[in-house]
Amino acid sequence: MEIWTPSIIEEWLKIAAMVDKSLPPVRPAKVVGQKWDIVREWYEYLWDTNDDIEPHFQPTNKQISMWEEVVLRWFRLIDDNKDKKIVWMRACGKSWTKIGKKVHLSRQSVALHYKNAIEDLAKKLSKPNIKISTYLMS
């Protein structure tokens, strides 16, 4: 049995949010017409540096599995839909005030909702699953 603490859950949520951002969007591909090749002169390549572009986040298989567990299993354990929104927005890195404006609460109330939701989630995840344990014993 694993012991889940709120700090471990927050870490998993942040990884899941990063993986979610890196996944391709779920929508049909755009139809793009013919694009003409642009002929460039040799001196135009001198200013073509990509030094300021940061590398794209590539999730590993383990991180994708963590994302699946968080999205498909953990969010079902959170009872209130508003708390689900608060937890996910905070995992995505939004500030308390921005989250509060979205869900129409003060920043203190949002922080309290978040803290309670994470602690409840930690308790539920740390509890042994009775159905699975009785199935394994028989």
Residue ranges per domain, the chain?
1-22+60-138
Per-residue 3-state assignment (H helix, E strand, C coil) for 31-94: CCCCCCCCCCCHHHHHHCCCCCCCCCCCCCHHHHHHHHHHHHHHHHHCCCHHHHHHHHHHHCCC
Q: What is the pTM of this model?
A: 0.72
Closest CA to 84 of 125, 107, 119, 113: 113
The residue ranking higher by pLDDT, 120 or 129, is: 120
35 against 90, higher pLDDT: 90
The better pLDDT of the pair 50, 105 is held by 105
pLDDT, residue 133, reads: 38
> Residue 11's pLDDT is what?
95
pLDDT tens across 21-77, in order?
Answer: 888 777 777 766 666 666 667 666 666 665 555 657 788 999 999 999 999 999 999
